[in-house]
């Protein structure tokens, strides 16, 4: 094992605010695999999941919830892997592990306190493919679940709008809204193909192509009584258009603002924000990690819906660790349909 | 009585968006006082209370919660008055009445359904001065009470910031925060005199003069651990400065946005709105009328705090119905300290 090489993407330089993140910001290096110390175990990476927020690791001064990574560090990122060597009695070689593996083939891990249960855990009953732990049963599914149901207080009969609806979080959010009895679920996406997929495969009631349609007009047409819950991943003009069409006591869940991630700022809030008063609406931000205490319930629900076929797990897979910088960049170009997964090695034969 | 004249301010023309509302938008007319019909009663106006939102009656297309008044109508407005003639068995001449009296000496009233209990009612135990029904026990006090405690979920130990703190609603909001055990209450106002008044008379912990001080720097200095509840009446740059200094899970109560009432728009939301996610914060709008069902509790609390001397009722009185357009205009110029009241006739000798 120690003769194996550990390929890694290390942080090489920080992008300028308007610069799309890509391979040029990372260095591709190899080093020998390290031995686990006492109480540690070695994990071989199977899949990684890039998410837009990871860009925050490479921003020098960012009032965000992420710490910045120093130049030269292995890029941080969540993944699923298999334990290949262990010096911890509770973790056995062969077991499946989810956690902060980093953009590399191998990582040394140790158990975290219970407060990290959501981000780092042994997978007791792994399901096929293992990437499901990073998509539907991982951060994307949990973000959709808690954002919609806890922050957004979505309830049966609500009219729900989801932006970036074909993305990793959005594709789950719209389906959960339907399962929970939404009166209407409409998604916004960036191509006719994605829109058709939302309607035909994910069973959204309708979809808006923001690149070819007038989003404001279409929202008005599709929500004659206004939007009850707006699950927004985008910000900018799409948030404005949604705010102009709210129902009374609407909830706007701010999950992200990918439309402004590459504009230099200052980033203006939505121009229609005064409707917050007129419509007694609430705009609320959340971060999925805040809900880790309730994660088991989310996982149970998501798995049950998935098992029964009500909820489709949409993944968009790139192949090879060398793809990771491009996989991350693709999220900012609308390149993915479903949760972006980067497969580093095949699922082991454990099923 | 019918030989008396009823002086009135009628709507003459709508102001342009950037035009401060004033006497030139109204017509000053007199007509004979009308007789109440069956089930009606005649009320003589004692005091009126202009509020910034009344400007909405004179805006042609406004996605607000107010209906526009047609040209030629008597200007709408809340007031306290005395019943002088009644043809309704439950309303007796001499009794005190609060409701939508309009900008006039006399109005014909009839009981409203119970859903209007908050805006129209007979005052069973009037207190001196009767204007208190329009200030502390009226819309200003109730707005501060429900906005802070219900929408803002303010609780003991919170650090609270109030903008337009010397205004009608703000002057009550800061005091209620102190009474409810806030760790710190800071007000923002437009003169050193108002700031001193906030600290010395209303017992705010500190105050910021937005005309002479750097609001962002001062907020940062006064809230080293961040703001828990920001009761904002102002919007614009002051809202931005507050959002840059939030504590985790902060609540921002949008009571108004008087800073942008005269800018032609579109009105951009706060530039720091992305902190809604970073700080898991909530921005929520409200309209006091939504809380009418709980109004009795608010009135009880407010009266009790007032009676015990903990809560000072701050009023800023203009004299004479002819002043009403100027009284309303003064609100947009920061001309008032406390709740603006326009006294139309003296309190009757009922105490």
Q: What is the CATH number of the domain that holds A36?
A: 3.90.180.10
pLDDT for the residue B261: 62
Q: Cβ–Cβ of A269/B266 closer than 8 Å?
A: no
Which among B260, B279, B285 has the least Cβ separation from residue A280?
A: B285
- Asked whether residue B34 is domain-assigned, the answer is yes
Chain A residues within 8 A of B287 when measuring between CB atoms: 277, 280
Chain A residues within 8 A of B285 when measuring between CB atoms: 275-282
Helix (H, G, I), strand (E, B) or coil at A198: helix
Chain A interface with B: residues with Cβ < 8 Å: 63-65, 235, 244, 254-257, 260, 265-287, 290
Q: How far is CA B184 from CA B16, B207, B211, in A?
A: 40, 11, 22
Best probe of the A interface among B143, B283, B290, B292, by most A CBs < 10 A, is: B283
Chain B residues within 8 A of A65 when measuring between CB atoms: 277-278
Q: Cβ–Cβ of A271/B282 closer than 8 Å?
A: no
Best probe of the A interface among B272, B274, B276, by most A CBs < 10 A, is: B274
- Asked whether residue A104 is domain-assigned, the answer is yes
Show the tokens assigned to B300: 């009880």
- Asked whether residue B181 is domain-assigned, the answer is yes
Q: Cβ–Cβ of B273/A270 closer than 8 Å?
A: yes
Show the tokens assigned to A88: 């911890």
Place of tokens 């209370």: B49
pLDDT for the residue A4: 84
Q: State how far the Cα of B213 lies from the Cα of B217, in Å rounded to an integer.
A: 8
Per the CB < 8 A criterion, the answer to whether B65 and B287 are in contact is: yes
Chain A residues within 8 A of B274 when measuring between CB atoms: 63, 235, 257, 260, 267
| Same domain, residue pair B119 and B147 | no
Q: Cβ–Cβ of B284/A286 closer than 8 Å?
A: no
Number of domains chain A is built from:
2
Place of tokens 């940062």: B220
Chain A residues within 8 A of B61 when measuring between CB atoms: none
Among candidates B289, B312, B305, which has minimal Cα distance to B172?
B312
Distance from CA of A122 to the nearest CA of B (A): 29
Pairing mode, strands B96-100 and B78-86:
antiparallel
Which among B265, B278, B281 has the least Cβ separation from residue A63?
A: B278
Chain A residues within 8 A of B264 when measuring between CB atoms: none
- Asked whether residue A348 is domain-assigned, the answer is no
B126 bridge partner residues: none
pLDDT for the residue A2: 46
Q: Cβ–Cβ of B285/A265 closer than 8 Å?
A: no
pLDDT for the residue B59: 78
| Same domain, residue pair B122 and B205 | no
Chain B residues within 8 A of A63 when measuring between CB atoms: 244, 274-275, 278
Pick the residue from chain A with its C-alpha nearest to B276. Answer: A285
- Asked whether residue A350 is domain-assigned, the answer is no
- Domain with residue B201: its CATH number is 3.40.50.720
| Same domain, residue pair B48 and B121 | yes
Could you tell me if residue B320 is left (phi over 0), alpha (psi between -120 and 50 degrees) or otherwise beta? left
pLDDT for the residue B64: 54
CA atoms within 13 A on the CB side of A141: 26
Q: State how far the Cα of A333 lies from the Cα of B242, in Å rounded to an integer.
A: 33
Q: State how far the Cα of A82 lies from the Cα of A317, in Å rounded to an integer.
A: 19
Q: What share of chain A is helix, strand, coil (3-state, %, to 5)?
A: 30, 25, 45
Distance from CA of B279 to the nearest CA of A (A): 8
Pairing mode, strands B184-189 and A78-86:
unpaired
Number of A:B CB contacts under 8 A? Answer: 110
| Same domain, residue pair A210 and A129 | no
- List per-residue pLDDT tens for chain B, 351 residues long: 446 899 999 999 998 878 889 999 999 999 999 999 999 999 999 999 998 888 888 876 545 556 789 999 999 999 999 999 999 999 999 999 999 999 999 999 988 765 444 567 888 889 999 999 999 999 899 999 999 999 999 999 999 999 999 999 999 999 999 999 999 999 999 999 999 999 999 999 999 999 999 999 999 999 999 999 999 998 888 988 998 899 999 999 999 877 766 666 666 666 677 778 888 888 898 888 788 788 889 999 999 999 999 999 999 999 999 999 999 999 988 889 999 999 999 999 888
- Asked whether residue A308 is domain-assigned, the answer is no
Q: State how far the Cα of B99 lies from the Cα of B133, in Å rounded to an integer.
A: 10
| Same domain, residue pair B96 and B151 | no
Chain A residues within 8 A of B235 when measuring between CB atoms: 274
pLDDT for the residue B122: 86
pLDDT beneath 50: ranges in chain A:
1-2, 62, 115-117
| Same domain, residue pair A40 and A130 | yes
pLDDT for the residue B154: 98
Chain A residues within 8 A of B278 when measuring between CB atoms: 63-65, 285, 287
pLDDT for the residue A237: 86
Distance from CA of B289 to the nearest CA of A (A): 11
* Burial (0-12, 13-18, 19+ Cβ within 10 Å), A149: buried
Chain A residues within 8 A of B284 when measuring between CB atoms: 276, 280-284
Q: Cβ–Cβ of A271/B269 closer than 8 Å?
A: yes
Count CB atoms within 10 A of the CB of residue A69: 19
Which among B281, B286, B290 has the least Cβ separation from residue A285?
A: B281
Pick the residue from chain A with its C-alpha nearest to B277. Answer: A285
| Same domain, residue pair B278 and B152 | yes
- Asked whether residue B80 is domain-assigned, the answer is yes
| Same domain, residue pair B180 and B81 | no
pLDDT for the residue B20: 86
Distance from CA of B291 to the nearest CA of A (A): 12
ipTM: 0.74
Pick the residue from chain A with its C-alpha nearest to B245. Answer: A63
Distance from CA of A280 to the nearest CA of B (A): 5
pLDDT for the residue B251: 95
| Same domain, residue pair B12 and B85 | yes
| Same domain, residue pair A154 and A61 | no
Distance from CA of B66 to the nearest CA of A (A): 9
Chain B residues within 8 A of A282 when measuring between CB atoms: 282-285
Q: Cβ–Cβ of A269/B270 closer than 8 Å?
A: yes
Chain B interface with A: residues with Cβ < 8 Å: 63-65, 235, 244, 254-257, 260, 265-287, 290
Chain A residues within 8 A of B251 when measuring between CB atoms: none
| Same domain, residue pair A162 and A125 | no
| Helical ranges in chain B per DSSP H | 139-146, 168-179, 192-200, 215-222, 236-243, 275-278, 295-307, 324-331
Which among A65, A274, A278 has the least Cβ separation from residue B267?
A: A274
Q: Cβ–Cβ of B271/A266 closer than 8 Å?
A: yes
pLDDT for the residue B1: 46
| Same domain, residue pair A131 and A150 | no
Chain A residues within 8 A of B244 when measuring between CB atoms: 63
Which among B266, B270, B276 has the least Cβ separation from residue A284?
A: B276
- Asked whether residue A239 is domain-assigned, the answer is yes
pLDDT for the residue A124: 86
Identify the domain containing residue A37 by its residue range. 5-135+314-343
Q: How far is CA A325 from CA A108, B38, B250, in A?
A: 22, 80, 35
Distance from CA of B286 to the nearest CA of A (A): 5
Pick the residue from chain B with its C-alpha nearest to A255. Answer: B277
């Amino acid at each position: 094992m120690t003769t194996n090489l550990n390929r890694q993407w290390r942080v090489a330089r920080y992008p300028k605010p308007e610069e799309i993140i890509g391979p040029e910001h990372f260095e591709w290096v190899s080093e020998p695999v390290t031995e686990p110390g006492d109480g540690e175990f070695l994990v071989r990476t199977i899949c990684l999941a890039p998410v837009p927020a990871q860009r925050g690791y490479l921003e020098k001064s960012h009032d965000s919830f992420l710490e910045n990574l120093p130049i030269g560090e292995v890029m941080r990122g969540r993944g699923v892997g298999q334990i290949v060597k262990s010096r911890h009695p509770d973790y056995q070689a062969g077991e499946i592990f989810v956690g902060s593996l980093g953009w590399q083939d191998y990582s040394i891990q140790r158990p975290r306190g219970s407060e990290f249960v959501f981000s780092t855990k042994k997978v007791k009953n792994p399901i096929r493919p293992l990437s499901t732990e990073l998509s539907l049963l991982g951060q994307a599914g949990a973000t959709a679940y808690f954002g919609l149901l806890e922050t957004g207080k979505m309830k049966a009969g609500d009219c729900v709008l989801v932006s970036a609806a074909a993305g990793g979080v959005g594709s789950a959010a719209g389906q959960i809204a339907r399962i929970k009895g939404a009166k209407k679920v409409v998604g916004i996406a960036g191509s006719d193909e994605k829109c058709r997929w939302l309607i035909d495969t994910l069973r959204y009631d309708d979809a808006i192509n923001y690149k070819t349609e007038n989003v404001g007009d279409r929202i008005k047409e599709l929500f004659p009584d206004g939007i009850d819950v707006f699950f927004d991943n985008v910000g900018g003009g799409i948030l404005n258009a949604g705010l102009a069409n709210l129902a009374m006591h609407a909830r706007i869940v701010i999950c992200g603002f990918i439309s402004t991630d590459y504009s230099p700022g200052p980033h203006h809030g939505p121009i229609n924000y005064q409707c917050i008063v007129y419509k007694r609406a609430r705009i609320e931000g959340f971060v999925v990690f805040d809900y880790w205490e309730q994660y088991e319930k989310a996982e149970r629900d998501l798995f049950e819906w998935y098992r029964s076929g009500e909820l489709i797990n949409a993944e968009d897979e790139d192949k090879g660790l060398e793809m990771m910088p491009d996989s991350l960049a693709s999220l900012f170009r609308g390149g993915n349909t479903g949760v972006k997964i980067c497969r580093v090695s095949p699922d082991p034969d454990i099923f």
